[in-house]
Amino acid sequence: MKKVVLTLLAICIFMFPLLAQDEQICVMNYNVLNYPSSNSTDNDNRAAAFSDIVEYTMADVIFVQEMESIAGADLLVNALNVNTSGITYARAPQFFSYNNLGNMLFYNTAKLSLESQTELPRNNIDPIGTTTNATPRAHTHYRLYANDPNLSIHNDTTYLDIISMHLKASYTNASGNAIADNQRRLNGC
């Protein structure tokens, strides 16, 4: 009997990795272009279109740029939660606005949880030590983790780090250099 129990235990131990599931996460970036506007009908139409696109792509993480307010984020998360797939979305808790534009994150609560949200500094230090506003738009670092039911067994959390940023298109060397500075600055994150 002892051999049978040990054999079954060994089979279970070796089969455990085979039973582990790989979770796929679909990530989507979306520029909401100054959302919301002052026109409530336009906002409703844009929120419905946003929700349709996200549902079609089955995105689990959606990070957006050019959000105008926390009210706009609430409109979009409410629209996302009216879907036929049964997914519940949440949004990041904070909204930082620079010149009425900011980033926002939405995520599938069945697959992910938000651990942290950090607004990255907008000012850079130039070579002679003076502060410049070389970062015209905000960058936000979001850290999510997988909702793993087996976490207590293997004690290995899977993190997903996302940096949402909007780099303005450039037609001049000066603004092109500022964009390049943005990209270099984020290299160390």
pLDDT of 10 reads 43
Which two structure tokens, joined as six digits, stand for 107?
């995520």
At 181 the pLDDT is 67
Say how many Å lie between the first and final Cα of the chain, rounded. Answer: 56
Burial of 6 (0-12, 13-18, 19+ CB in 10 A): exposed
User: How confident is the model at residue 96, as a pLDDT?
Assistant: 85
Local mean pLDDT, 10-residue blocks, the chain (189 residues): 45 43 86 94 97 96 94 97 95 87 95 94 53 61 92 86 78 65 59
Note the pLDDT of residue 51: 97
Quick one: pLDDT at residue 165? 82
- Supply the angle between the helices 70-80 and 40-57 in degrees, to the nearest 10: 50
Total residue count of the chain as it appears in this document: 189
